Chain A
Amino acid sequence: EAGVVQSPRYKIIEKKQPVAFWCNPISGHNTLYWYLQNLGQGPELLIRYENEEAVDDSQLPKDRFSAERLKGVDSTLKIQPAELGDSAVYLCASSLAEKETQYFGPGTRLLVL
């Protein structure tokens, strides 16, 4: 079992450019989470999916961030346009259900220049 898979692992872009992150959850996990982790801080939830439905996106900055989970499996998180302050690690996690243990991916480290 590979666990939660994320790609790319690292991304360097210039500000105002778009960027996308991809997440493949553990097979059978209905709940998928995207977290933002700034340097020296703990992860902060951006959005939670139950199957293909976004059930908690209150922390997602919707002016520049968007996410989708087509067919309730893989998910993509997009930033357009990126800003310098978006430099961080973006973590994806999945769980069988909302109350169950969350399993984290390795994260995507984004650097915006």
Chain B
Amino acid sequence: AQRVTQPEKLLSVFKGAPVELKCNYSYSGSPELFWYVQYSRQRLQLLLRHISRESIKGFTADLNKGETSFHLKKPFAQEEDSAMYYCATRAGMPSGSARQLTFGSGTQLTVLP
């Protein structure tokens, strides 16, 4: 079964400092990895996906298959980055496994002024 671990429930950094939100997954094969974000009083939304290899709002995430990690990073945190961040995984194609998204328990990021 797929499992996603986000070891930090809470993470606080000062504005301008680098930030890294950790995510480890357990899944055999080649899963798809995602980061979702939920800002205060807003709905859950996709931030980025590993297959796109893009930077969104200054955030990047590199899939490390050896360490089964997909940590989210930003070199200079901004106050507007304060939000709940969820890492998620889904079986890659082709796959006989269920293609559902499996979410981690989330990390609440607070960027202090």
Contacts and interface: CB of A to CB of B under 8 A. Distances in A.
**Interface size class, chain A:** 20 to 34
B43 A56 contact: no
B46 A102 contact: yes
Given A41-B105, A42-B86, A42-B106, A104 B45 contact: yes
Interface in B1-15: 4, 9
Given A42-B88, A58-B98, A99-B93, A105 B106 contact: no
Main secondary structure of the interface of B (DSSP, over half): loop
Interface stretch (A21-29, A43-51, A60-68, A76-84): A43-51
B103 A104 contact: no
Contacts of B44: 43, 91, 104
A74 B88 CA distance: 26
Contacts of B45: 103-104
Interface string B60-104: 000000000000000000000000001010000100001111011
Contact of B100 (A3, A48, A104): A48
Main secondary structure of the interface of A (DSSP, over half): loop
Q: Which of A42, A99, A102, A104 has the most chain B CB atoms closer than 10 A to its own CB?
A: A42
Contacts of B4: 42
Nearest to B99: A98
A88 B64 CA distance: 33
A48 B93 CA distance: 18
Given A91-B44, A104-B44, 11 more contacts: A3-B43, A41-B105, A41-B106, A42-B4, A42-B105, A43-B101, A45-B101, A56-B100, A58-B98, A102-B101, A107-B43
